[in-house]
A and B are shown apart, each in its own frame.
Chain A
């Protein structure tokens, strides 16, 4: 398949992820949106990597997956800490730094 199709799919995936982060109140689902965004980026990396016949894109996608694992671990830990302190995972109620 032409690279263009893969790039459009990666846009769509990134957009869905962004919508999830912006619109959802549940912090867990916002984190899932971030994972979708990272996967959209990965897909673009791999598509261009095949287009150019260069394996560097694969290496960067590998790094992004490792980064996503670290991000998920720390993000979920923050969620657990938030839940301990405020008894909520609602992002609209986590306003401690606003005041």
Chain B
């Protein structure tokens, strides 16, 4: 296929990264072992970061590696460590779902048709100077999107609190309540007379 203004190097880089991305994505959802799946997900994200860089989105490429391959993957690994369970039957394929997949494939061919018609074959011309750099994105982010940016920070805070509250263990709380109850009983016993002692020698002591 003639790819318009793209150089040979561009094409090779794109095809290698695209094939690797697709391969690792498919590998991710077909693995039985969750750790293998996470590792191939990391590989997918690294290849995607390369594709972002080829779209001259350098800042987003760096963020992709930092947030996805760094933070989110660590989270996944930790959760796998907590709940490492063997699966009996990893795939749940039912007749209705097969029908859904067929419908999805049909829709995909239609979408590829539409996209193939609607966009020019040639690569877009030169991007503006400094396109995709931190400075350029920062200017748009803090000038036109300041409110959504602040809203995202609130969202992250809520997600942190929600994550802690939802995943918290309630066993410790129950244990703490029981311990307090027990302590209370002991204190009450200490205020009363020793059970073995007769009432007479300590009259009026209450």
Contacts and interface: CB of A to CB of B under 8 A. Distances in A.
Interface of A: 1-9, 11-13, 15-20, 22-26, 28-29, 31-33, 35-36, 39, 42-43, 46-47, 49-51, 53, 55-56, 58-59, 61-63, 65-74, 76-81, 83-84, 88-92
A4 B57 contact: no
Contacts of A33: 28-29
B116 interface: yes
Interface string B80-106: 101101010111110001001100100
B180 interface: no
Interface in B6-24: 6, 10-11, 14, 18, 21-22
B64 A55 contact: no
Main secondary structure of the interface of B (DSSP, over half): helix
Given A9-B51, A59-B141, A2 B6 contact: yes
B154 to A, nearest CB: 10
- In this complex, the interface size class of chain B, counting residues with CB under 8 Å from chain A, is 35 or more
Given A24-B90, A26-B87, A4 B166 contact: no
Given A1-B14, A19-B101, A58 B87 contact: no
A83 B80 CA distance: 11
25 contacts: A1-B10, A1-B123, A2-B3, A2-B6, A3-B120, A16-B22, A16-B26, A23-B29, A23-B97, A24-B29, A24-B90, A28-B76, A29-B90, A46-B52, A49-B55, A58-B137, A59-B145, A66-B155, A68-B72, A69-B159, A70-B156, A72-B76, A77-B166, A77-B167, A80-B82
B6 A32 contact: no
B25 to A, nearest CB: 4
Contact of A62 (B3, B28, B115, B141): B141
Given A39-B48, A67-B152, A70-B156, A58 B140 contact: yes
Contacts of B71: 69
Nearest to B162: A74
B186 interface: no
Contacts of A58: 57, 59-60, 132, 137, 140
